């Protein structure tokens, strides 16, 4: 098994960035043997997806392969006509995309989409393909493998869809599968199921794989070898276990560094409650399902409460209730001891000013046709009535607080990086001089190191301004880093709440333990061990939880 | 939801009937001066008014008409003694025939040209189709009609210039005689459908599932037809139905140009004669066709969405 299947040599890929061709993959090379899994790791902009995709002879629109060679089983791919490359794609080399929900065609059934590649490549007829489809669906632990293929993509869950996509990649028996962040969009508990299904499928077939991810702990479970990329260059390459135990480059060490725990603040007895949610139940208009049931949360001045839960737990709905976007059907929200009007329309300008919000997608939360000056200056004028030179002075002061250079004031959001955009959103929230900021998954769309910078900034701002945070997140690492108190939510109900130390130390509540145990660890044996322990019933699984 | 839409549709019809009444009243003269001519003495006109019940105020006549109309009585033509129902039933078949035939030609042609243009997007072929179809909708309807008449009836004499169909004609003869009106209607409606099909497909080509199909090694033609088109139906249906409505309603001018004995020509004649009951009835039919077709478009768009067709 030493025969090399894929040999990429000195590949140079350029992208058209505002009319100029700039290199995004800088003369990278890779050798992939049969049955080997290589992990490509790096932050956004590292070129890892572009590099991975070139194994299919494919570049995204607006990119081009300039030079280098890609040899698949001895056949050169660079410079081949499209028709020749189509014979390879979905046939010898298959692809699994990040978002299965977006990458499955909503108009066709799962089995139709599974069968398409094998049939179009002339490998199978329809009846053979559907038999094979059922076989592989069963192997990937999909429920009702005989009939699930007749469903449409929106009729199955996210985790099932991602497994169906892996099944689709396996359909025509490829030599290589490229996994492009296949679990990034999933909840932690679902991620485990998909990871173990992928690992099992890859190992049992001895198929080679390129596994692209930003999460070192995930790649630790999957890869034999790891390549760390940054800005299109190779930082470090080596055996997975060795690299994790002994990273040579500083950048790799930084990626590996576990986030530090925040010191536990002493919750003083002096009651200084700023926000009190009392027995809130809410449902969306026109539905009869309670998205939130009997939620009660208290938040002290200058403290951070983290609301943690998976998708569908109702945590974002909670934010909508507090801001007044969704009036609750029962219960009240009080601010500084006064009950807030339930709906947005009835709120006074001071109500609006004192509770601000920061969103997950900084990109879409800002008007792309406004300059930073207007984005931050608008709330300064609206809430505080400052105009002209006074307004500009305040904007500059805010920009200093969020550590953005003053000369950015006339830029548009499109000219900023992801982390910078989120900082502008923070400044916009601060401009109103609020007492409470609701942070809805503010670091989820950011790279690890950038996200840490944002969390640091939020922490410093809290120390300086004594503002309170309600931190909504699915990411337990973020919770550990920033929370004073934790509220764990599951299906619209509070499972557990209390000071951080109490929640994160044993004895655990079952669901909390499931969440905590599902967060990938750097140990390469972590996944196998966990799956073993769960099989033996020593660790909770989503199924045992469902039986409660 | 559907009930609300139907209610709104009925309200639209009511508003239109009122507008038509006021509009026709505002035109100079009435049916008596139109029939009797400018030279008629005041007494003859007054006698005519009396005979046709036109001496009462407009509003009273409107309410009376509405009351009868709601009971299914469309009244009598003022120009001759025939009932409006009789006049309309002689013509409506011809108009529907023309609209149906034009739709059968224009819709498949428009959509397939759109698909081909999307497949060869930004090539000379794509631009050629766009320029041609856009040119034909950029000039007035009657202009297209006269150009076609000059070319195919006068110069080359392929089709007759006058499309005077009659009930005695056989299928092929009728088809042949309607050639020019159908061609005109096709030319003035095809661009909308072609452009919308192209735009909806091209819009979807950036979707992750299209990239996925490319990475499965699927051929470009199959990607467009199998992966993009099924998801592009909703906007295409809207435009197609709007064009069918246009073919039913927009035929007014085309029918006059080609002397085609349809509802549109009847309407124009009746407006000239200030023949209110006939104008009112034809307007109601056209408006109802518009309202119903738009309702149909919304229902079809919902059916075209797989998420709504196959519930969880």
Residue A527 included in any domain: no
Are the Cβ atoms of B216 and A102 closer than 8 angstroms? no
Instruction: Give the DSSP letter of residue B131.
Output: H
- Is there a single domain that holds both residue A160 and residue A306? no
Are the Cβ atoms of A58 and B208 closer than 8 angstroms? no
Residues of A in contact with B212 (CB under 8 A): 95, 97, 103-105
- State pLDDT tens for residues A236-259: 999 998 988 888 898 888 887 755
pLDDT at position A284? 87
Residue A184 included in any domain: yes
- State pLDDT tens for residues B47-63: 888 877 777 888 888 88
Sequence spans of domains, chain B: 2-70, 85-309
Instruction: Give the DSSP letter of residue A106.
Output: T
CB-neighbour burial class of residue A458 (10 A; exposed 0-12, middle 13-18, buried 19+): buried
Q: Which token pair is A56?
A: 């299919």
Q: How many Å lie between the alpha carbon of A240 and the closest alpha carbon of chain B?
A: 28
Residue A460 included in any domain: yes
pLDDT at position A262? 52
**Nearest residue of A to residue B231, measured between CA atoms:** A107
Nearest to B312 among A56, A95, A155 (CB): A155
CA-based nearest residue to B251, from B269, B263, B238, B240: B263
Provide the domain limits for residue A82.
Answer: 4-256
- Is there a single domain that holds both residue A194 and residue A319? no
CA-based nearest residue to A443, from A412, A490, A481, A404: A481
Are the Cβ atoms of A103 and B209 closer than 8 angstroms? yes
Residue A227 included in any domain: yes
Per the prediction, chain A carries an average pLDDT of 88
Question: Among the three residues A205, A221, A256, which one is the final residue of a domain in this structure?
Answer: A256
Question: Among the three residues A256, A285, A317, which one is the final residue of a domain in this structure?
Answer: A256
Are the Cβ atoms of B306 and A155 closer than 8 angstroms? no
Question: Among the three residues A256, A284, A312, which one is the final residue of a domain in this structure?
Answer: A256
- Is there a single domain that holds both residue A442 and residue A328? yes
Residue A100 included in any domain: yes
The whole-angstrom separation of Cα B68 and Cα B90 is 21
- Is there a single domain that holds both residue A286 and residue A233? no
The domain tally of chain A equals 2
Are the Cβ atoms of A86 and B218 closer than 8 angstroms? yes
In this structure, are strands A176-180 and A208-213 parallel, antiparallel, or unpaired? parallel
- Is there a single domain that holds both residue A399 and residue A466? yes
- Is there a single domain that holds both residue A232 and residue A293? no
Which 53-82 residues of chain B touch chain A by CB within 8 A?
A: none
For residue A405, the Cα-to-chain-centroid distance in whole angstroms is: 28
B222 interfacial to chain A (CB closer than 8 Å): yes
What CATH architecture is B85-309?
Orthogonal Bundle (1.10)
- Is there a single domain that holds both residue A448 and residue A509? yes
CB neighbourhood size of B4 (10 A): 8
Mean pLDDT per 10-residue run, chain B (312 residues)?
Answer: 82 90 82 77 81 80 87 80 84 89 93 92 90 88 89 87 80 87 90 91 90 93 92 89 84 86 88 86 89 87 80 68
- Is there a single domain that holds both residue A299 and residue A245? no
Nearest to A106 among B213, B306, B312 (CB): B306
- Is there a single domain that holds both residue A363 and residue A458? yes
A371 interfacial to chain B (CB closer than 8 Å): no
pLDDT at position A544? 67
Say which residues have a Cβ less than 8 Å from residue B197's Cβ, sequence separation at least 6. Answer: B110, B111, B113, B114, B115, B117, B118, B232, B236
The whole-angstrom separation of Cα A355 and Cα A379 is 13
pLDDT at position B32? 79
- Is there a single domain that holds both residue A357 and residue A238? no
CATH code: domain of residue A468 = 3.40.50.300
Are the Cβ atoms of A152 and B207 closer than 8 angstroms? no
- State pLDDT tens for residues B178-196: 889 999 999 988 988 999 9
CA-based nearest residue to B118, from B216, B223, B211: B223
Q: If you write DSSP's letter for every residue of A320-389 in order, what string do you get? A: HHHHTSS--SEEEEEETTEEPPSSGGG--HHHHHHEEEE-S-HHHHS-TTS-HHHHHHHHHHHHH---HH
The whole-angstrom separation of Cα A168 and Cα A162 is 10
Residue A533 included in any domain: no
Q: How many Å lie between the alpha carbon of A484 and the closest alpha carbon of chain B?
A: 40
pLDDT at position A431? 93
**ipTM score of complex:** 0.80
- Mutation target for A interface from B201, B209, B301: give the one with most A CBs within 10 A: B209
Nearest to B215 among A58, A61, A107 (CB): A58
pLDDT at position A223? 92
* Residues of chain A falling short of pLDDT 70: 1-2, 258-271, 543-548
Whether residue A507 is preceded by a cis peptide bond, meaning omega within 30 degrees of 0, is: yes
Question: If you count residue pairs, one on A and one on B, with CB atoms under 8 Å apart, how many are there?
Answer: 78
Residues of B in contact with A99 (CB under 8 A): 208
pLDDT at position A1? 43
- Is there a single domain that holds both residue A423 and residue A281? yes
- Is there a single domain that holds both residue A80 and residue A140? yes
């Amino acid at each position: 098994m030493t025969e090399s299947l894929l040999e990429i040599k000195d590949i140079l890929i350029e992208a058209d960035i505002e009319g100029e061709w700039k290199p995004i993959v800088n003369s990278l090379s890779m050798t992939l043997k049969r049955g080997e899994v290589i992990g490509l790791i790096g932050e956004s902009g590292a070129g890892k997806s572009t590099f991975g995709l070139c194994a299919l002879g494919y570049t995204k629109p607006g990119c081009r392969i300039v030079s280098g060679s890609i040899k698949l089983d001895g056949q050169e791919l660079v410079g081949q006509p499209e028709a020749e490359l189509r014979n390879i794609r979905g046939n010898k080399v298959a692809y699994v995309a990040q978002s299965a929900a977006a990458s499955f065609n909503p108009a066709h059934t799962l089995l139709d989409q599974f069968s398409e590649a094998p049939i179009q490549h002339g490998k199978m007829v329809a009846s053979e393909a559907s038999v094979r489809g059922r076989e592989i669906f069963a192997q990937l632990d999909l429920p009702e493998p005989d009939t699930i293929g007749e469903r449409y993509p929106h009729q199955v869950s996210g985790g099932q869809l991602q497994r169906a996509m892996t099944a689709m990649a396996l359909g025509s028996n490829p030599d290589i599968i490229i996994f492009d962040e296949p679990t990034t969009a999933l909840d932690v508990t679902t991620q485990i199921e998909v990871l173990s299904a992928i690992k099992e499928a890859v190992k049992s077939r001895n198929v080679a794989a390129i596994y692209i991810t930003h999460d070192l702990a995930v790649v630790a479970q999957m890869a034999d070898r790891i390549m760390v990329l940054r800005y299109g260059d190779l930082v470090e390459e080596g055996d997975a276990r060795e690299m994790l135990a002994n990273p040579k480059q500083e950048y790799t060490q930084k990626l590996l560094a576990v986030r530090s725990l925040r010191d536990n603040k002493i919750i003083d007895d002096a009651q200084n409650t700023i926000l009190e949610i009392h027995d809130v139940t809410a449902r969306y208009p026109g539905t009869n399902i309670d998205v939130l049931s009997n939620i009660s949360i208290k938040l002290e001045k200058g403290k951070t409460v983290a609301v943690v839960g998976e998708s569908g737990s109702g945590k974002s709905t909670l934010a909508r209730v507090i801001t007044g976007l969704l009036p609750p059907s029962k219960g009240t929200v009080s601010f500084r001891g006064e009950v807030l009007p339930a709906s947005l329309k009835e709120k006074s300008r001071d109500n609006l000013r004192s509770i601000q919000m920061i969103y997950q997608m900084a990109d879409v939360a800002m008007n792309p046709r406004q300059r930073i000056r207007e984005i931050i200056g608008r709330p300064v004028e609206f809430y505080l009535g400052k105009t002209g030179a006074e307004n500009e002075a305040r904007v500059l002061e805010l920009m200093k607080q969020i550590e953005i250079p003053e000369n950015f004031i006339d830029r548009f959001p499109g000219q900023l990086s992801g982390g910078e955009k989120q900082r502008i959103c923070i400044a916009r929230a601060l401009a109103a001089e609020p007492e409470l900021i609701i942070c809805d998954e503010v670091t989820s769309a950011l790279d690890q190191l950038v996200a840490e910078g944002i969390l640091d900034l939020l922490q410093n701002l809290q120390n300086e301004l004594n503002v309170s945070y309600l931190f909504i997140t699915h990411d337990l690492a973020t919770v550990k880093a920033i929370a004073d108190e934790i509220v764990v939510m599951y299906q619209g109900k509070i499972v557990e709440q209390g000071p951080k130390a109490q929640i994160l130390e044993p004895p655990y509540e079952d669901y909390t333990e499931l969440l905590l145990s599902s967060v990938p660890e750097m140990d390469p044996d972590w996944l196998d061990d966990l799956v073993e322990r769960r099989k033996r019933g020593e660790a909770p699984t989503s199924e045992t939880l469902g039986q409660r | 939801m559907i009930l609300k839409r139907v209610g709104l549709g009925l309200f639209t019809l009511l508003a239109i009937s009122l507008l038509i009444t006021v509009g026709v009243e505002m035109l100079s003269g009435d049916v008596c001066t139109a029939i009797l001519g400018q030279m008629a003495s005041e007494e003859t006109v007054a006698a005519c008014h009396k005979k046709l019940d036109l001496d009462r105020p407009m509003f009273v006549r409107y309410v009376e008409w509405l009351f009868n109309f709601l009971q299914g009585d469309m009244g009598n033509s003022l120009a001759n003694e025939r009932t409006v129902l009789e006049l309309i039933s002689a013509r409506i078949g011809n108009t529907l025939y023309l609209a149906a035939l034009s739709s059968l030609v224009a819709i498949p042609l428009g959509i397939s040209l759109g698909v081909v243009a999307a497949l060869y997007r930004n090539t000379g072929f794509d631009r050629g189709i766009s320029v041609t179809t856009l040119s034909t909708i950029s000039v007035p309807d009657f202009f297209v009609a006269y150009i076609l008449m000059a070319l195919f009836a006068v110069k080359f004499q392929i089709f007759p210039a006058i499309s005077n169909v009659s009930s005695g004609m056989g299928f092929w003869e009728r088809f042949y005689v309607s050639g020019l009106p159908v061609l005109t209607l096709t030319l003035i409606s095809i661009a909308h459908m072609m452009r919308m099909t192209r735009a909806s497909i091209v819009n979807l080509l950036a979707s992750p599932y299209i990239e996925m199909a490319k990475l499965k090694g699927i051929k470009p033609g199959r990607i467009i037809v199998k992966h993009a088109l099924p998801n592009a139906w909703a906007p295409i249906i809207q435009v197609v139905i709007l064009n069918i409505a246009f073919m039913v309603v927009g035929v007014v001018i085309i029918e006059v140009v080609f002397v085609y004995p349809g509802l549109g020509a009847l309407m124009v004649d009746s407006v000239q004669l200030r023949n209110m009951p006939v104008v009112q009835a034809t307007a109601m039919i056209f408006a109802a066709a518009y309202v119903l077709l738009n309702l149909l478009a919304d229902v079809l768009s919902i059916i075209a969405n797989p998420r709504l067709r196959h519930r969880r």
